Structure 1
């Protein structure tokens, strides 16, 4: 797709990478050396290091930002860790514009700092690309309507003078003149303070002035009405393309955007100018959110407070516009009839308020779906067989060593452990829990040395980075909530069975440290910022640490953000930390609403009508995209906002009719049912049509599981939803771990109890359910074990890490064909296709950047002495000039996740003539590390990327023998079955 900006990461998921590549890849291309014990800061039984591992990268940006994150912050700004991952982060975390910043999309207005001050714009017409059945985007691109500043201002940069929960105050100075502005989410005002000159509004052409009386001037640009308010006694002067005021020597003013157009009756426009004018000099100087959970009514209440300073007069209230997820859940107050246009849909405005509140019903999460339909009979045997395949050997084998892929592995194992426990398969449960415990303990011990897995606290930036890092989690501080959410959720599962491990004086402190980094909830925490990744007002996370794109910040996988929130709820419950639990509830309920509005638009009210899609893969500050960072396949564009499927995923089923709408779009755009990520998509479909989803699974048992999934978990999910039915949001309960389902008019009530005493859960329709300590129960007298935190089953006895077992089918052919879904296989494909290699947009010679990755595991064989790797990759750059495709082939000889030999080949310069060209090992080896060894259930990985060039290229995959031009890798091994 044609993106106007460069991706901040191929986003994790490998997801998808996944998707592209099934491979597990760490973004760090060097061998990391863990610090010794003397450099490790202890935290309970665990530790982290304040000395970055040798060869590892840290946050980086313009000038000396790497070591001085306050390089673009004034002395007036709050002390402590600087915030990142916000809508305005590009102003502080400068990477692409080292003086000012790309546009900052606050809504309803957007802003762009420049030498002369603050550019202001309000775009009400969307720009749409693509078609309703292809990759496409919609944006409300920034365009300067006027620049707010000081006469003569020529500042060399814009700094940050302060911030609050959803506002920021940029600051300009050229030595003689200064400008300080405050802007924020939902604020229809820009508040300004100036010194050294007159206030100035500069336009590209003579503005249309519709009122100019005393301290107030009203003007229209591009059909948008604004009013500038100077102090009492001041006036405004219009001269050509500028409007100026002396401000009567008092140095402050404000400019408001009215929710009107030139077609609005003049009387209404004047009335709004009068109404807003009452609050024009009550400058917003602080914003803050507070929340509480009312367990009796299962409702999360949030209060959004705006603090003002009266520059003149005594008015303390203000005007604020609300996003759809806020005004649809407003607990008091009446918005005015007029609305603002925004990329998130219509904003509704409260006039004359100091705060407002929302009340959102919480419909529960579960550790896992109960086994109501897989506790006996043939389906129990089927599920048991799938568990036997997945819960043997080392369940974490075959995954990458970086934070993201480790997280995926932990998440998969935790789901399997919950199922094994329900079925009374304690040996398998304990094997899985032992694997989780061993891997988490390794990561949480900074002096472990051998594996290189550790967490580093960067004192300058106030952030915790796991190494090996991936997808920009180190240099750009991307995706911490995605990566760490898997750790927290897995730790919550382990804590139920082994509360001693999770104690604060053991390893619980390290879990809490991850929480504090990604979304810390203690405002007084000197180590980390408050709610780093969660945008309090927008209601959802942002993935990029710096957000330095023309379209603003972005987030792809909203569902991985929800995995983090669900993990907080369950970790808080398992460890008795109500503060963490309630923070998880606030994020979970708020973001569940935001996802329905901004990723799904399930009420069909927010996306531009011309966009044509019913969902987006990514939300941008100025719009959305039916796309991902890593794939153009509809299954992945839509599936990326569904995975991982867990007991915290039930929010996806709140609106079953929309689930069907989403599924139908997938089938249409894909030209049929999904052929990759079927398990994720069937699990989503099952929220509305569980029988159909289960039938698809039974008809396609040989499908390839998504990297973080297993057949056991998918079958458990589908079969039990087929018995339970759809999520019933009309009934709530007075406990956090619950769910209600409806099938055929009959309800099933589910609750989980991880306390040490029995509880009686009361549902809002009067039904009660007694749940024994440490158990999950449903109506119908079914109970399942739920861990030892409540006195249930005993702690599993730690065992040595078992020998890895392959998760992919092995092959005896040493010629490995490049197949779809990130696979290498010993058999050809069934029909040629292509996968897109993203444009390099820079020089990445030797360093895999946004690679397409393919992998096979479970290989056993002997090295053929003197043999060498060979390959034939059929690539095409179309008519693009200057592209260079590069490949790296790696060998993990034991399936441990550690690659003992890596071969990087010189890049292949493609020609600008449409048609495939063959890239082979004849291009020459660029670098090689490690020697050959025997393969013992080992893995081979192929990474392909564009080393140079500004255009994407394609790699041919899945070709049949008859079609020829089969992309393949031949390894120098004699393989056995």
Structure 2
């Protein structure tokens, strides 16, 4: 760890044995509530007075009960913010007068008695080893102090704050100073009284220009320009530069951008550009986000309000972090750069606002099940599920908020899997355990001895007791802990809407959301977005941030678990504001993680830093380390867990996954020996087959405490079939995912509403999802990833669990969007005489497959014949006797439109129960929009029914007829027929009969 830091231990024990000790210790903590009062919220309640034997936030002096003692009278009313880059100014713990370094970027600051110390460090300090713990920091070093002549303030207070700025304030009774500093601001804005403006240095300053109201100086190779009011001048004397400000009370100092030239002309040009905005002081910053569902894009507008101290100018200069300038929307010109601990910051000038547009790639309640319905692996998965669902799934976890959350998360993942497998009894048992535990935590009634939440009005925060890892005294990690509760509540809400109602326990879930990251500015109970740093694009874990390296965050993935939980809960309960806040945090932080924890584009870490990822991001750098372990598996794994249906963001850049995983094995001296499940799950997002092979070869491993073998096997096995996350395709619903393997796409979507939903993907593919279900495209043949193959399945595309639950089917197969005929499937067909009929020459349907694949031409539509057969190719089989088996028609047509555009092929299946020529059941499917890329695509029943009539009945010498025609388009298409098992890509119809 950084030598100057006092570690804020928040993390996990070193080993499973240590967990047992920690859990037992936690279980022995009991809280007496003889003096606690409770406030009701729907059916739930929370305490409003501190229970005996517990502690709230602590720090210097009487801060525990009065955090506003470090605010001026000008500071906003309401809850005080915590967990920010500047929190040590207000939440004073280690420096009771001023603050520890405030990492704003591009500059850093540290208050002192004489004013505001200013630093711009451009060379990284790197320590540690290439294969062990290592860190990089851009440490704070005072280059000059901005103040007032003679200022000797006993402390620094906070005069105000906005979304990403803060205004520190000094007063010694005679002289005053206020400065406004913030993320992305290359200016320090100052207001003074009682003395001259002063810039003081450790030696004689190096001044390169002093003309009129401007003075330019260089410290450690960094150029600054100070701007006094019009008519003022600067005086250079000894170790200081001063100005009377011509009797006015404002000035500003700008850090000029990094340039490749140090010529006077270049410096002067930059100084003139910045000078246009020097007296437009930034007095407000504000973010607003919107979700464009049709485009699956989250736009965030960052507005900077300026006040003209002289003249009538507007606009300012702002530097953007990599996650911002890479998603910048519009035509802003970026010409200059700064060095920062987050990589290169790029400058836009003259703006009062900028907007980022970040694609949202979707989340799911869980990875879709695409396994075979009767194979050995399904039995294995069932056995693993039995281990989780037997008895109390929370029994082995402690009572504190973090470990309770881990237990709830583990149970919720298992409940989702049980639902997919149709194991409703196990699902309901797991949900019952979740309901019982959440209800316990959400009730602070008389006689309660443990598990409750307490609202601390002085701090505007909700603390759960028993607390852990400083969640009480330091307000650490609330988003980490509460994210698990909210995610479990979201799973429960899909099955028990009454429990999740605001009038029942949903209000308590919303209270946790409001505490950790409140999206409502008008809510005075809690600060706006407590844990999320709006401009930096990610959360901060420490409530006070009192470290020499600034604030920090270790487990970015647990922050993403919180964001995903907001999306899932918001959708499940119809709370659009919560959903959209989750979408903003999720999409923004996903981008930030790729840049600052992973540096997956290899642009942001210092060139000499030997690691490809960090376990912790600090205000002034990053560390290949954790608070709790030096194990490479844990350093890297802590930014992967928990693995959920919201973890697909880890796979946005599949090539990086191998880089990350390979470094872990190198640093570990071999494959992982702890947290294997977390690391394999991460690996599966880049190479599911390899991850599955690793699982199979080492299935006796010990699961990470919040994981289960059922969930890990389910995740890895299905990703081995699905492939990698396809970020080139989006959808017009938040609950979706697209995967690709060997050029084949699988589309998945979840519908939590009470009506059918048609999801449209950006490539034109549509997927109809029944109410309360999850669907995937087509009928996928799953290969076991270790050289074995499994027989194909012919399952319906959606599951059959009762609404509003998600899909409980044991086998959902993703279907290829395009499968070139040169890459046939190796799976054998169903046996002859079964209920599967192959398309054969004739045309005809036959239970016997062909021997040499060919194609059938379907004539051009040359019009619109959607829903009405026009020049169809008709395939028929008769003499069928059998009973209805309760399934649905399964259709797989391998079709190709070549390179033509605007084509759509359509199919109709009709049933004649007695061979009389009368069709008692007719099913017309929506047409399938083919792509203009040569190679077959799968047209399946997953497109959904356009219309249907009649009801299936037993067949006695009956017939099934398939009609295929072009509904739209001016060119012919083809259907692949007569294919053998060896040829692969067999077009077939499976009828829902036992014959």
Note if 1:388 corresponds to 2:386.
yes
The aligned counterpart of 1:575 is 573
Note if 1:770 corresponds to 2:768.
yes
Deviations 1:320-343 (A, max 9, x none): 000000000000233432210000
The aligned counterpart of 2:896 is none
2: CA distance, partners of 1:232 / 1:497: 67
Larger Rg: 2
Partner residue of 1:284 out of 265, 282, 285? 282
Partner residue of 1:179 out of 177, 180, 186? 177
Partner residue of 1:148 out of 146, 149, 153? 146
Partner residue of 1:600 out of 598, 601, 605? 598
Secondary structure of 1:70's counterpart equals helix
1: CA distance, partners of 2:265 / 2:321: 27
Flag the 1:17–1:357 CA change in 2: closer, same or farther, 3 A.
farther
Shift of the alpha carbon at 1:789? 3.4
RMSD: 1.7
Note if 1:783 corresponds to 2:798.
yes
Flag the 1:133–1:257 CA change in 2: closer, same or farther, 3 A.
same
Shift of the alpha carbon at 1:786? 6.7
**Cα pair 1:660 1:688 within 8 Å, conserved:** yes
Flag the 1:506–1:323 CA change in 2: closer, same or farther, 3 A.
same
Secondary structure of 1:635's counterpart equals helix
**Cα pair 1:24 1:405 within 8 Å, conserved:** no
- Once the two structures are superposed, the pairs formed by residues 228-377 of structure 1 within 5 Å of their partners are 228-260=226-258, 263-377=261-375
Shift of the alpha carbon at 1:180? 0.2
Gaps of 5+ in 2: 779-795, 810-995
1: CA distance, partners of 2:239 / 2:15: 50
Shift of the alpha carbon at 1:785? 5.3
**Cα pair 1:732 1:764 within 8 Å, conserved:** yes
Shift of the alpha carbon at 1:53? 1.4
1: CA distance, partners of 2:520 / 2:480: 20
Shift of the alpha carbon at 1:460? 0.4
Note if 1:468 corresponds to 2:466.
yes
The aligned counterpart of 2:860 is none
Structure-2-length-normalised TM-score = 0.78
Structure-1-length-normalised TM-score = 0.80
The aligned counterpart of 2:483 is 485
Shift of the alpha carbon at 1:449? 3.7
2: CA distance, partners of 1:17 / 1:140: 33
Secondary structure of 1:782's counterpart equals coil
**Cα pair 2:515 2:530 within 8 Å, conserved:** yes
Shift of the alpha carbon at 1:38? 7.6
Flag the 1:714–1:361 CA change in 2: closer, same or farther, 3 A.
same
2: CA distance, partners of 1:534 / 1:352: 27
**Cα pair 1:374 1:383 within 8 Å, conserved:** no
Flag the 1:710–1:296 CA change in 2: closer, same or farther, 3 A.
same
The aligned counterpart of 1:163 is 161
**Cα pair 2:231 2:246 within 8 Å, conserved:** yes
Flag the 1:483–1:519 CA change in 2: closer, same or farther, 3 A.
same
- Once the two structures are superposed, the pairs formed by residues 422-501 of structure 1 within 5 Å of their partners are 422-447=420-445, 449-501=447-499
Shift of the alpha carbon at 1:374? 5.0
1: CA distance, partners of 2:329 / 2:568: 27
The aligned counterpart of 2:877 is none
**Cα pair 1:498 1:788 within 8 Å, conserved:** no
The aligned counterpart of 2:205 is 207
Q: After superposing the two structures, state which structure 1 stretch, 357-366 or 19-28, moved more.
A: 19-28
The aligned counterpart of 1:856 is none
Secondary structure of 2:105's counterpart equals coil
**Cα pair 1:225 1:262 within 8 Å, conserved:** no
**Cα pair 2:36 2:49 within 8 Å, conserved:** no
**Cα pair 2:418 2:808 within 8 Å, conserved:** no
Note if 1:699 corresponds to 2:697.
yes
1: CA distance, partners of 2:243 / 2:106: 25
Flag the 1:678–1:295 CA change in 2: closer, same or farther, 3 A.
same
1: CA distance, partners of 2:451 / 2:476: 18
Partner residue of 1:671 out of 655, 669, 677? 669
**Cα pair 1:396 1:413 within 8 Å, conserved:** yes
The aligned counterpart of 1:88 is 86
Shift of the alpha carbon at 1:689? 1.0
Shift of the alpha carbon at 1:448? 6.2
Q: Which has the higher contact order (CA 8 A, sep 6+)?
A: 1
The aligned counterpart of 2:3 is 3
Flag the 1:792–1:772 CA change in 2: closer, same or farther, 3 A.
same
Flag the 1:386–1:598 CA change in 2: closer, same or farther, 3 A.
same
2: CA distance, partners of 1:414 / 1:237: 67
**Cα pair 1:26 1:402 within 8 Å, conserved:** no
Secondary structure of 1:410's counterpart equals helix
1: CA distance, partners of 2:42 / 2:802: 23
Deviations 1:862-883 (A, max 9, x none): xxxxxxxxxxxxxxxxxxxxxx
**Cα pair 2:148 2:176 within 8 Å, conserved:** yes
Shift of the alpha carbon at 1:220? 0.3
The aligned counterpart of 1:759 is 757
**Cα pair 2:33 2:449 within 8 Å, conserved:** no
Shift of the alpha carbon at 1:168? 0.2
2: CA distance, partners of 1:261 / 1:38: 61
2: CA distance, partners of 1:464 / 1:369: 32
Secondary structure of 2:721's counterpart equals helix
The aligned counterpart of 2:961 is none
Secondary structure of 1:445's counterpart equals coil
Secondary structure of 2:230's counterpart equals coil
Secondary structure of 1:525's counterpart equals coil
**Cα pair 2:419 2:808 within 8 Å, conserved:** no
**Cα pair 1:521 1:583 within 8 Å, conserved:** yes
Flag the 1:365–1:788 CA change in 2: closer, same or farther, 3 A.
same
The aligned counterpart of 1:741 is 739
Secondary structure of 2:218's counterpart equals strand
**Cα pair 1:293 1:300 within 8 Å, conserved:** yes
Q: After superposing the two structures, state which structure 1 stretch, 613-622 or 262-271, moved more.
A: 262-271
Q: After superposing the two structures, state which structure 1 stretch, 22-31 or 280-289, moved more.
A: 22-31
The aligned counterpart of 2:872 is none
